[in-house]
Structure 1
Amino acid sequence: MGEPIRLTSPRDGFEFDAYHAPTMDARRGGLVVCHAIWGVTPHLRALADQFAEDGYETIVPSLFDRQLELDGARGFAERDTDPALYARQNGYAERAAWGAEVLDGVQAAIDALAPPVFALGFCFGGTVAWLAASRCTGLSAVASYYGGQIIDYLDDAPKVPTLLHLGKTDELIPPATVAAIREAYPEMPVHEYDAGHAFVAPNGFHADSARLSRLRTLQLFARNGGGNNRGGEP
């Protein structure tokens, strides 16, 4: 089981919350998980624990902490989704400054982990993971799940091996968007599943898609340095 920790922004020293799940035995690497608009939810904390069992020391940074602090609402989410908080959480995502706020938090999490370090993200976090692949340092590979805004950042070419997981019936990412991504990056793996949006999350869960995408993500990490290491050594 993991526990809350505090990370420090490399840019201005701001302290923000994160969930940290250490490995119990052989360490394969570090992993940064980028959350959807709902924040560091119970589901993501459980997912972090699962990746830690697979050998990946995992950190889930709370990427909206600067805005949450202004609202006096810091702390991890108590529910995986909360319709009453949708407007607030979606507003955080819309106002997020990719460099100063979001990617700054991702970089702090990367820096807190011994290499090799990987990243993945879901929905809002899927776009964050895409941008981290091009703008952050210290990553070895990235997996992005249904990042709806990737289409707006196609010029941010990943600098590390990257793959995308998308749902064939995801109304937020239509076929034309998928085609544009494939055209821009014809050699990048873009996996489509017989599922809609959020097929890993409880609110859109699709068992076969979640299982296969997880397998492909772990294979990506293994191919790019995620071996059986102890003591945090690369």
Structure 2
Amino acid sequence: MSEVVSLPQPDSSEPLEVYVARPDGARRGGLIVIHEIWGLTDHIRDVADRFAAQGWLVAAPDILTHAGVTPAAGTELFALMNDPDEKVRVAAQPRMRDALAEAHDPGYAAWALRALRTAVDWLAAQPGAGGRLAATGYCFGGTYTFLLAASDDRIRAAAPFYGAAPDTARIAAIEAPVLAFYGGQDATLMKALPTVREQMAAAEVDFTPVVYPDAHHAFFNDTGSRYDADAAADAWAKVTVFLADAVA
């Protein structure tokens, strides 16, 4: 069963819209699913439903509408940027930059973390979820999965997909084990990964990176042009076991 709930936010008149997917049977725990840069699209709702089928009470908050990109707008941008015609993709790039400008502002990042913690507060209060909380996210959401784990010690496991790790100080604040997924053809993240490994080790974070050599950024999104079915299937098998074990 799924629904959208509106959560009040401290110090804000703007409610936080959250897609909630509920398991049919006993609850394994509570899981935050953080969307890609395209927002709370149908793909992310489907991912939330898949985790709910594994027994999770899932909260997938919409943290991009606040920056001006609604799920409908994000879906349209995604279609343009994944169009097989290169001319269409190139023509859409200025629109993409303009649409996401606010999401790159430092003030937005502070708001987004507060919003995510509002969703964690809600999950923690639900029967069968409190004390057994985890987080996962994709791309933009992968980055915020790292940040949420660094800012909220209620998160017992974090599974970012192709997200950028935070700075050294925030890495040192991560207490949960981290299982991070990367596409080997994702040049920016691959260049950064050796340093991330060193920083995680220095901070004694339980950090396990999984790299799929032939996969690209966004390999898990089965609606996009970079989808890699083999990598996605293996990542799904690994992440479901990891998250379940962490809250057992």
Pick the TM interval, shorter chain: 0.7 to 0.9
> Does 2:37 correspond to 1:31?
no
Match of 2:40 in 1: 40
Match of 2:241 in 1: 219
> Does 2:227 correspond to 1:205?
yes
- Per-residue CA shift, 1:101-160, capped at 9, x if unaligned? 11111111111113211101111111100011111242111101101x32x523312121
CA distance in 1 between partners of 2:98 and 2:152 (Å): 27
Aligned-pair identity in percent equals: 28
User: Which residue, 188, 197, 200 being the options, matches 1:185?
Assistant: 200
Q: Which of the pair has more CA radius of gyration?
A: 2
- Per-residue CA shift, 1:152-199, capped at 9, x if unaligned? 52331212111211111113323x311111121245101101301001
RMSD after superposition: 2.1
2:159 match: secondary structure: strand
User: Which residue, 75, 89, 101 being the options, matches 2:111?
Assistant: 101
1:25 match: secondary structure: coil
| Ranges in structure 2 where 5+ consecutive residues have no aligned partner | 81-91, 124-128
CA contact (8 A) 2:39 2:65 kept: no
CA distance in 1 between partners of 2:10 and 2:18 (Å): 15
CA distance in 1 between partners of 2:154 and 2:13 (Å): 19
Match of 2:148 in 1: 132
CA distance in 1 between partners of 2:199 and 2:143 (Å): 16
CA distance in 1 between partners of 2:117 and 2:210 (Å): 26
CA contact (8 A) 1:146 1:167 kept: yes
Structure 1 residues 161 and 61, CA gap change in structure 2 (3 angstroms): same
1:134 match: secondary structure: helix
1:179 match: secondary structure: helix
The Cα shift of 1:80 comes to: 7.9
CA distance in 1 between partners of 2:4 and 2:122 (Å): 14
1:57-136 equivalent positions in 2, closer than 5 A: 57-68=57-68, 74=70, 77-78=74-75, 81-83=78-80, 84=92, 86-95=96-105, 97=107, 100-113=110-123, 114-115=129-130, 116-136=132-152
Match of 1:20 in 2: 20
| Structure with the largest fraction of helix | 2
Q: TM-score, normalised by structure 1?
A: 0.84
Paired residue total: 219
Structure with more relative contact order (C-alpha pairs < 8 Å, separation 6 or more)? 1
The Cα shift of 1:48 comes to: 0.6
Match of 1:155 in 2: 169
CA contact (8 A) 1:200 1:206 kept: yes
Name the amino acid aligned to 1:143: A
CA contact (8 A) 1:8 1:15 kept: yes
The Cα shift of 1:51 comes to: 0.6
User: Which residue, 158, 162, 166 being the options, matches 1:142?
Assistant: 158
The Cα shift of 1:3 comes to: 2.1
Q: TM-score, normalised by structure 2?
A: 0.80
> Does 2:187 correspond to 1:171?
yes
Name the amino acid aligned to 1:160: A
Match of 2:87 in 1: none
The Cα shift of 1:64 comes to: 2.1
Name the amino acid aligned to 2:218: A
Q: Which moved more, 1:88-97 or 1:2-11?
A: 88-97
CA contact (8 A) 1:32 1:110 kept: yes
Name the amino acid aligned to 1:23: P
